[in-house]
Amino acid sequence: MSHPEQERLRVVLYEGPGSQRLASEERLETMTALLEGGYGVTRPRPGGRVSPEDESTVVMLGRFGETPPAESPAEEGRPAVLVRDIANQASMAVLEQVEAARDGAGLPAPGKWTPWFPVVDYDRCTNCMQCLTFCLFDVYGVDKEGQIQVSNEDKCKTSCPACSRVCPEVAILFPKYKKGPINGAEVKKEDVQSESMKVDISALLGGDLYASLRDRQDTARKRFSTERDESRALLERKRCLAELKETLDIPDEVLMTLPSAGDIEERARRAKEKAEKRRARSKTVQDETQRVPSQDEWGI
């Protein structure tokens, strides 16, 4: 399921009037500890600009000494403000204070999941649904307008960029992938060509992967049967899989569950049908709402 908008903590490192400044190395250490712990940090400066206040609970960190500013509860659209003194505290102790404040506010802990998921570049996407039909893990879905969308980010298999290889438009990104254009690097003409070649590979990956494995195994078996060395046939199979895995960068778990070419076509057909129905439904609703009411309906 897609993640609902969750309330999070906003950590502010305050070094203005009433709070002693941190040395730049201390600031760096504190920020790094918080970031590694999954917390963002806002550093306001006089005359500088940061993003506006919202309803996220604020934890204001500072070296306040004797007279820390007063805390305030959430009221009328303004966030609750918690104040934590970090005087004489090492970076890890600051992180612990923030963790405790988050716990106390009943907010979720950050960083429990490796953020690996596809991101669609809608400037390129033609809504062909190949990604949806290819992925067996329900990562993709369609929105109310029948447009492809990533619906279940956390169902995506970490480090698997397989769907980006079936996209004929090179419209699927994995920002944490090592190579371009999948990592978000600009798409070049050659990329489109080479990526579309990979569509053929993906078709091959369907039913034909197993056929090609069988062929190679048979050839190997014939060759090896004379040698009576079955373990070499097994090695050959492993090598073939490893080769595919390396070329396409697809983890075993995904490789073994890839749909057949027939499955892909069938799912594509069904997804398109579903999207059409949704589009038709939303058009009917629009037509209904745009219809000029009759005199009877106006009560004239």
Partner 1 sequence: MSRAEGQKTRSIVYCHCAYAKVIDPEVKQKVLEGLCASEVAFEAVPDLCEMSARKDPAIARLSATSDLEIAACFPRAVRWLFHAAQHPLPEKVTIHNMREETADEIVARLTGASREQEQELSS
- Which residues contact partner 1 by CB under 8 A? 2-8, 10, 24, 27-28, 31-32, 34-52, 54-56, 110-111, 113-117, 119-122, 150, 153-154, 173, 175-178, 180, 183-186
Q: Which is nearer to ligand SF4, 104 or 175 (CB)?
A: 175
- Report the interhelical angle of 209-227 vs 230-248 (nearest 10°): 150
Beta-carbon contacts of residue 92 (< 8 Å; ≥ 6 apart): 33
Instruction: Check residue 148 for interaction with ligand SF4 (CB under 6 A).
Output: yes
Residue 178's binding partner among partner 1, ligand SF4, none (Cβ under 5 to 8 angstroms by kind) is: partner 1
Q: Distance (Å, rounded) from C-alpha 105 to C-alpha 84?
A: 14
Q: Which is nearer to partner 1, 38 or 207 (CB)?
A: 38
Here the tokens at position 77 are 């659209």
C-beta separation of 146 from 276 below 8 A: yes
Please name which of 35, 43, 53 lies closest in space to residue 14, comparing C-alpha atoms.
Answer: 43
Instruction: Check residue 127 for interaction with ligand SF4 (CB under 6 A).
Output: yes
Residue 31's binding partner among ligand SF4, partner 1, none (Cβ under 5 to 8 angstroms by kind) is: partner 1
Residue 52's binding partner among ligand SF4, partner 1, none (Cβ under 5 to 8 angstroms by kind) is: partner 1
Here the tokens at position 154 are 């956390």
Instruction: Check residue 167 for interaction with ligand SF4 (CB under 6 A).
Output: yes
Question: Smallest gap, in angstroms, from Cβ of residue 76 to partner 1?
Answer: 18
Residue 224's binding partner among ligand SF4, partner 1, none (Cβ under 5 to 8 angstroms by kind) is: none
Q: Which is nearer to partner 1, 143 or 215 (CB)?
A: 143
Instruction: Return the ∠ at Cα 103 (arms to 87 and 5), rounded to 5°.
Output: 115
Q: Say how many CA atoms lie within 13 Å of 141 toward its Cβ.
A: 13
Which residues sit opposite 172 in a β-bridge? 120
Instruction: Check residue 182 for interaction with ligand SF4 (CB under 6 A).
Output: no
**DSSP type of residue 113:** S
Residue with tokens 């048979």: 218
Question: Smallest gap, in angstroms, from Cβ of residue 183 to ligand SF4?
Answer: 8
Residue 119: enclosing H or E segment and its boundaries?
Answer: strand 119-120
User: Of the ranges 98-106, 171-179, 264-272, 283-291, which one interacts with ligand SF4 (CB under 6 A)?
Assistant: 171-179
Instruction: Check residue 131 for interaction with ligand SF4 (CB under 6 A).
Output: yes
Q: Distance (Å, rounded) from C-alpha 181 to C-alpha 245?
A: 19
C-beta separation of 182 from 172 below 8 A: yes
Question: Smallest gap, in angstroms, from Cβ of residue 290 to ligand SF4?
Answer: 29
Q: Which is nearer to partner 1, 156 or 244 (CB)?
A: 156
Instruction: Check residue 129 for interaction with ligand SF4 (CB under 6 A).
Output: yes
Which residues of this protein are in contact with ligand SF4, per CB under 6 A?
Answer: 120, 125-131, 148, 167, 169, 171-172, 175-176
